[in-house]
C-alpha cells in the first residue's frame, strides 16, 4: 500500500458516498449489521467507518439503547458520515486510528470494520487493538474484498486503466482494496493478534448502477484511484473516466448495469 491509497480528500468523500456506497457497499453493510445485532451488544465500536454506511445500518438494526461509536482515521470521510446521523445522540463520531484506538481495554461488546482492514499498514496490530477493546465473549466482525476477478465492474475499470496507461498502469485496485483476500493469511494475522475462534465466509452480491458512466465516476473519481489517474497527466481524469464508462457499456450495455461482487466476511473472538 502507498500513502496515496489513503487519500480520501477533496471531492472524493462526496462522490464515494453518493455513487460508490450504493453501488457496492450497502448489501455488505446490512450483512455486517445483522451479524453485529446477533451478538446482542450494549456498546459497539466501528473502525474505518468511512462515510458511515455501516453506522447507518447499525443504527437501523440495533435496539435504541445500544451505543455506537464510529471512528475513522480520515476526518473528511467522517465529516461526510456525520451529515447523515448528526442528530442521533446514541452515536458518537470520533477521529481515531484503528491501530492505536483511544479507548480503554474491554470497552465494547462488538467491533465492526467494513472494507477497512486492507488499508491497515499493520494488520496484526490493528486486529490486536480490536481484540484489546473487546469485552470477554465479544466479537470482531469485518469484511474484505475478494480478488478483483470476482468483482466484475471494478475489474473492467481496472483492465481499462491498464490499457490507457500501458507503460505505468495504476494498481490501486489490486494493491489495496482487492489485495487482501487470501484466507490463510487473514487467519494467520488474526491468530497472531490473539484471536482463536475465527470464521471466514465468502459472500456474493449484485452491484447495480443507473449507467456505465455512473459506475466509472464512482471508481475513477470517488476512490484514491483518482490521485493515480491525475498524477499521470494526459489524457486526464475526465477522458479516463469516459474510457472506463465506454468499456463498461461494451460489457454490460448502455442502460442500467449490474455485475457480481464478492467479499470475505470474517468473525473472530
Query: In this predicted model, what pLDDT tens digit does every residue of 223-245 receive, in sequence order?
Result: 999 999 999 999 999 999 999 99
pLDDT at 2 over 90: no
Computed over every residue of the chain, the mean pLDDT equals: 96
Q: 57 or 4, which is more confident?
A: 57
pLDDT category at 10 given cuts 50, 70, 90 is: confident
Q: Give the residues across from 8 on adjacent strands.
A: none
Residue 4: predicted pLDDT: 57
45: enclosing H helix or E strand: strand 43-47
Looking at residue 14, the DSSP 8-state letter turns out to be: H
For 30, the grid coordinates are 446490512
- How large a percentage of the chain has pLDDT more than 90? 94
The CA distance from 252 to 135, in Å, is 47
Owner of C-alpha cell 480490536: 130
How far apart CA 144 and CA 265 sit, in angstroms, is 7
pLDDT of residue 1: 61
- Cell numbers that stand for 152 in this block: 466484475
φ, ψ dihedrals at 149, nearest 5°: -65, -20
Closest CA to 24 of 231, 236, 205: 205
pLDDT in tens, 174-223: 999 999 999 999 999 999 999 999 999 999 999 999 999 999 999 999 99
Per-residue pLDDT, 75 = 94
Q: How far is residue 27 from each of residues 81, 118, 134, 184, 198, measured CA to CA in Å? A: 18, 19, 25, 25, 22
Q: How confident is the model at residue 48 (pLDDT cuts 50, 70, 90)?
A: very high
Measured CA to CA, the distance from residue 161 to residue 164 in angstroms comes to 5
Q: Rounded mean pLDDT of 5-17?
A: 79
In tens, the pLDDT along 75-118 reads 999 999 999 998 899 999 999 999 999 999 999 999 999 999 99
Instruction: Sort 28 into a burial class: Cβ within 10 Å, 0-12 / 13-18 / 19+.
Output: buried
Q: Which grid coordinates belong to 98?
A: 484503528
Mean pLDDT of 56-68: 98
Residue 260 grid coordinates: 457480481
Question: Which stretch of DSSP H or E encloses residue 57?
Answer: helix 53-61
Checking if the pLDDT of 6 tops 80, the result is no
User: Is pLDDT of 7 > 70?
Assistant: no
| Burial class of residue 102, CB neighbours in 10 A (0-12, 13-18, 19+) | exposed
Query: Quick check: 224 and 12 in contact, CB under 8 A?
Result: yes
Distance between CA 45 and CA 79 in Å, rounded?
17
Beta sheet of 43-47, edge-to-edge order: 91-95, 67-72, 43-47, 108-114, 134-145, 257-268, 198-209
Give me the mean pLDDT over the 149-165 stretch: 98
Amino acid at each position: 500500500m502507498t500513502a496515496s491509497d489513503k487519500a480520501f480528500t477533496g471531492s472524493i468523500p462526496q462522490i464515494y458516498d453518493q455513487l460508490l456506497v450504493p453501488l457496492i457497499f450497502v448489501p455488505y453493510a446490512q450483512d455486517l449489521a445483522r451479524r453485529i445485532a446477533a451478538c446482542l451488544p450494549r456498546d459497539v465500536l466501528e473502525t474505518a467507518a468511512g462515510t458511515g454506511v455501516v453506522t447507518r445500518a447499525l443504527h437501523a438494526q440495533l435496539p435504541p439503547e445500544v451505543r455506537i461509536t464510529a471512528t475513522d482515521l480520515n476526518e473528511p470521510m467522517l465529516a461526510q458520515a456525520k451529515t447523515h446521523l448528526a442528530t442521533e445522540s446514541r452515536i458518537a463520531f470520533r477521529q481515531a486510528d484503528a491501530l492505536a484506538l483511544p479507548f480503554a481495554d474491554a470497552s465494547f461488546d462488538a467491533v465492526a470494520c467494513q472494507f477497512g482492514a486492507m488499508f491497515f499498514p499493520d494488520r496484526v496490530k490493528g486486529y490486536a487493538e480490536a481484540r484489546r477493546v473487546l469485552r470477554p465473549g465479544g466479537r470482531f466482525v469485518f469484511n474484505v474484498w475478494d480478488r478483483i476477478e470476482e468483482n466484475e465492474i471494478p475489474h473492467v475499470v481496472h483492465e481499462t486503466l491498464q490499457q490507457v496507461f500501458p507503460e505505468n498502469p495504476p494498481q490501486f485496485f489490486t494493491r489495496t482494496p482487492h489485495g487482501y483476500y487470501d484466507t490463510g493469511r487473514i487467519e494467520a494475522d488474526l491468530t497472531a493478534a490473539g484471536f482463536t475462534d475465527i470464521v471466514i465466509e465468502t459472500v456474493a452480491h449484485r452491484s447495480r448502477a443507473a449507467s456505465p458512466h455512473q459506475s466509472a465516476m464512482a471508481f475513477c473519481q470517488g476512490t484514491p484511484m483518482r490521485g493515480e489517474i491525475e498524477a499521470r497527466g494526459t489524457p486526464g481524469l475526465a477522458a479516463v473516466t469516459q474510457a472506463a464508462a465506454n468499456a463498461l457499456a461494451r460489457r454490460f450495455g448502455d442502460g442500467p448495469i449490474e455485475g457480481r461482487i464478492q467479499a470475505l466476511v470474517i468473525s473472530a473472538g
